[in-house]
A and B are shown apart, each in its own frame.
Chain A
């Protein structure tokens, strides 16, 4: 940003463009990108955990909403984050595309003629010979060609030269790398626009078919057709888990396995599959991932006449690593309506500080703790209800109960009896389709290849000059590195190149040995 911007319109635009595509701007934009990524790792993010964001804003009423307004809970889709990476990629296009043309011409043009004085170059070597200059140059040129150098011969005559260049792939690699990054972004965008993903909890023995209404949560890109999801369905036949029982990391999960049967469409034959973490089920262009699991206590409720009015396995949500789980049971068929707010403990324990909680995630000693409510469950209000919460504003508490498997609790007001029959397990699945991910992988691979070429290949030139002075033919070898980084080993690589030419000249008996060497 050395000069003041010119005042005319086109001049000003060109100035802006030049600034935007300068290396310095790219550097500053890279810094900004790194800096702008930081808040997303500090504040909870809606895309990752919307509940945490809600709680955070509720707990910080003073600045929570302000942070929200400036996108701190959706950093990676916020206008400022997008602006930085879009500018970076515009800069990248402006910077790299013209270089493609330049490089293309450079690859097709001949290496430049030898400079007048080779002596000034590092590692110049000088020899004398009694052979014919043309023969010397032919030997050198052939040796270089054999080593895949691009070679040009100078004009015929007593004083002539060979010029050679190598390492064009460095720039090619650099261009491939930058352009591939651009296409990775495109692939990510394709995934975002056309992809979708949803989450669903499925109990053992229950089925799921891939339509919008069956999902607990679903989100799609702008161009995703939500009415046209692949028509597969599956049943969770059995879910097995295993937890660490040793002292180290006691309770940590060790294995999850979901035995499933699935159909790619309603008329297809049923197939079986074992879905594990890291082993998703691939089906109809989508993938079904096992992401979580929990317990669904089976509860029956009979009314005061002994008629069963509820019998179901209700999924509860685990609250900690030991699977202390919370959930609610809503019984709409009773009068007045009943609701249970409950805690399911796979291995129950009770203490004064923590109250009822679980001490191991496996079902060693299951118990159900609950409070019973009666009144208006809000089912008629028309607003959608969470299946994990009861709004008790318009309800009154009946009492507190505590059950082991097989036990029943007669509600204190005599309105019915609750029985804890047992439990099923549930598994939660993330079902996702990302049509851009293969493309992203292809371009990421390409970019790593390009990057490696760009970092490991050295672009260099070598000249061999022959001149006859006072009847003596003098040969000079020299070269330069054309890389712009400080890399003192480059010099070593260049001297290896010169060694190669020197050995070829010795092998052809053009020279006998090194008469004068200067490093």
Chain B
């Protein structure tokens, strides 16, 4: 197959994926708007008190259950979009004859793939249909920015990027992008829901349709417990790569600095969830701050700072 047709197919797969995602977004939105009131939902939370005894709290909350049928359509469309996006990324890699992670356009489409993939996989284990709208929107935005602002023709890599550590490092970082985004979404929703619960009124349009704050916090926690060791690994793999390429494993380059800041903020999150007085909203805010640091590293450093890592390939 000629390179041009591979390129065209890759782009076409990505555009179709966006189209399908728009459909998924409408389905999730419809599911959200057309929710049915559920009589009562029993929430059981356990907490270890003094001396290792468990304290069980049961809370009964009336919530609106987002429409099932529309949500299922949203999930199916999301899977279709995921498959198309995966095809787009893989075709891009075949076209470029390397792992498709050589510039910001490629990072972005893979990050979008990762956000969607992490969400859909998590959804097979716990019912996360209600979260769909909050995942599909950032994925669409990322893809939109990728195809309009960041698009570059495939090109070979600069020599510093020719390393299998690159593949490992970037892969881990991109999976983390998915998990961090998901965690930021659940953390943000937990703040909304928490405020409603504290006011004693969970009937608001948004807060009635999402799980209670404690469960949202648990989801955030779970996602970040998975992502933090992976991020640690990604940073270490990056350091090994840097040692091979530049002769030092850590040089406080802006990209390295922000990777470190992201790591420290998420370490603070993991501490906060077991520090008295910090487990609730404060921990959620830290989780969002960690995501902000990650985004800063991703966009801010690539565009603003002069860095050894300036291989973004934007505008050239």
Residues of A within 8 A of B (CB): 23-24, 26-27, 30-31, 33-34, 37-38, 40-41, 45, 47-48, 75-76, 112, 115, 120-122, 188, 197, 244, 246-250, 252-256, 276-280, 287, 289, 291, 430-432, 434, 437, 440-441, 444-445, 447-448, 451-452, 455-456, 461, 480-491
CB neighbours (8 Å) of B200 from chain A are none
CB neighbours (8 Å) of B5 from chain A are none
CB neighbours (8 Å) of B201 from chain A are none
CB neighbours (8 Å) of B260 from chain A are 37
Number of residues on chain B facing chain A (CB within 8 A): 71
Contacts between the two chains (Cβ within 8 Å), count: 178
| B232 with A448: CB separation less than 8 A | yes
For this complex, 24 residue pairs linking A to B, each with C-beta atoms less than 8 Å apart, are: A30-B265, A33-B264, A37-B257, A37-B264, A38-B257, A38-B261, A40-B252, A40-B257, A41-B301, A47-B252, A48-B253, A75-B252, A120-B56, A121-B54, A250-B316, A289-B247, A291-B247, A430-B246, A430-B247, A437-B243, A455-B225, A456-B225, A480-B48, A487-B221
**Separation of A455 and B226 alpha carbons in the complex (Å):** 8
Known contacts A247-B153, A432-B247; A488 and B215 CB within 8 A of each other: yes
Chain A: which residue is nearest B164 at the CB level?
Answer: A278
**Separation of A199 and B222 alpha carbons in the complex (Å):** 46
| B271 with A27: CB separation less than 8 A | yes
Known contacts A27-B278, A41-B257; A483 and B48 CB within 8 A of each other: yes
Q: Which 10 A-B pairs have the closest CB atoms?
A: A248-B153, A289-B247, A277-B159, A430-B247, A41-B254, A30-B268, A41-B257, A34-B264, A249-B155, A480-B54
Q: Does B1 contact A (CB under 8 A)?
A: no
CB neighbours (8 Å) of B232 from chain A are 447-448, 451
| B271 with A287: CB separation less than 8 A | no
Known contacts A33-B264, A47-B252, A255-B159; A484 and B274 CB within 8 A of each other: yes
| A248 with B155: CB separation less than 8 A | yes
**Separation of A115 and B233 alpha carbons in the complex (Å):** 42
**Separation of A120 and B158 alpha carbons in the complex (Å):** 64
**Separation of A287 and B247 alpha carbons in the complex (Å):** 7
Chief secondary structure at chain A's binding surface: mixed
**Separation of A488 and B43 alpha carbons in the complex (Å):** 10
| A41 with B229: CB separation less than 8 A | no
**Separation of A48 and B306 alpha carbons in the complex (Å):** 11
CB neighbours (8 Å) of B251 from chain A are 47-48
| A278 with B245: CB separation less than 8 A | yes
Q: B1: shortest Cβ distance to chain A, in Å?
A: 19
B41-65 contact mask (Cβ, 8 Å, vs A): 1 or 0: 0001111100011101000000000
Known contacts A34-B265, A249-B155, A278-B163; A491 and B225 CB within 8 A of each other: no
**Separation of A24 and B274 alpha carbons in the complex (Å):** 10
Q: Does B146 contact A (CB under 8 A)?
A: no
Chain B: which residue is nearest A39 at the CB level?
Answer: B257
CB neighbours (8 Å) of A484 from chain B are 48, 274
| A486 with B218: CB separation less than 8 A | yes
CB neighbours (8 Å) of A253 from chain B are 158-159
Q: Which of the listed residues B56, B158, B163, B229 has the most CB atoms from chain A within 10 Å of its own CB?
A: B229
CB neighbours (8 Å) of B273 from chain A are 485-486
Q: A496: shortest Cβ distance to chain B, in Å?
A: 14
CB neighbours (8 Å) of A434 from chain B are 248-249
CB neighbours (8 Å) of A485 from chain B are 221, 273-274
- Select one of A247, A279, A486, A489 contacting B279, CB under 8 A: A486
| A486 with B245: CB separation less than 8 A | no
**Separation of A278 and B241 alpha carbons in the complex (Å):** 8
- Select one of B46, B222, B268, B276 contacting A122, CB under 8 A: B46
CB neighbours (8 Å) of A248 from chain B are 152-155
- Select one of B252, B258, B274 contacting A23, CB under 8 A: B274
| B268 with A34: CB separation less than 8 A | yes
Chain A: which residue is nearest B280 at the CB level?
Answer: A486
CB neighbours (8 Å) of A279 from chain B are 244
| B268 with A27: CB separation less than 8 A | yes
Kindly identify, within residues 259 to 288 of chain B, every residue whose CB is under 8 Å from any CB belonging to chain A. Answer: 260-261, 264-265, 267-268, 270-279
Q: A425: shortest Cβ distance to chain B, in Å?
A: 15
| A30 with B264: CB separation less than 8 A | yes
| B261 with A37: CB separation less than 8 A | yes
Q: A74: shortest Cβ distance to chain B, in Å?
A: 10
Q: A144: shortest Cβ distance to chain B, in Å?
A: 18
Q: Does B22 contact A (CB under 8 A)?
A: no
**Separation of A432 and B218 alpha carbons in the complex (Å):** 46
| A486 with B278: CB separation less than 8 A | no
Q: Which of the listed residues B156, B159, B222 has the most CB atoms from chain A within 10 Å of its own CB?
A: B159
- Select one of B155, B226, B271 contacting A252, CB under 8 A: B155
**Separation of A250 and B254 alpha carbons in the complex (Å):** 26
Additional A-B contacts beyond A278-B241, A291-B247, A451-B232 (4; CB < 8 A)? A41-B254, A249-B313, A253-B159, A455-B228
| B247 with A197: CB separation less than 8 A | yes
CB neighbours (8 Å) of B246 from chain A are 289, 291, 430
- Select one of A37, A41, A244 contacting B156, CB under 8 A: A244
**Separation of A91 and B278 alpha carbons in the complex (Å):** 19
Q: B191: shortest Cβ distance to chain A, in Å?
A: 15
CB neighbours (8 Å) of A247 from chain B are 153
Chain A: which residue is nearest B153 at the CB level?
Answer: A248
**Separation of A365 and B18 alpha carbons in the complex (Å):** 46
CB neighbours (8 Å) of A121 from chain B are 54, 56
CB neighbours (8 Å) of A26 from chain B are 271
Q: Does B162 contact A (CB under 8 A)?
A: yes
Q: Does B12 contact A (CB under 8 A)?
A: no
Q: Does B236 contact A (CB under 8 A)?
A: yes
CB neighbours (8 Å) of A76 from chain B are 252
Known contacts A41-B257, A291-B246; A486 and B45 CB within 8 A of each other: yes
**Separation of A431 and B248 alpha carbons in the complex (Å):** 10
Q: A184: shortest Cβ distance to chain B, in Å?
A: 10
Known contacts A26-B271, A37-B261, A115-B53; A197 and B218 CB within 8 A of each other: no
Chain B: which residue is nearest A35 at the CB level?
Answer: B261
**Separation of A233 and B53 alpha carbons in the complex (Å):** 68
**Separation of A33 and B158 alpha carbons in the complex (Å):** 33
Chain B: which residue is nearest A449 at the CB level?
Answer: B229
Chain B: which residue is nearest A478 at the CB level?
Answer: B54
| A244 with B155: CB separation less than 8 A | yes
Q: B114: shortest Cβ distance to chain A, in Å?
A: 20
**Separation of A346 and B246 alpha carbons in the complex (Å):** 25
Q: Does B33 contact A (CB under 8 A)?
A: no
**Separation of A253 and B155 alpha carbons in the complex (Å):** 11
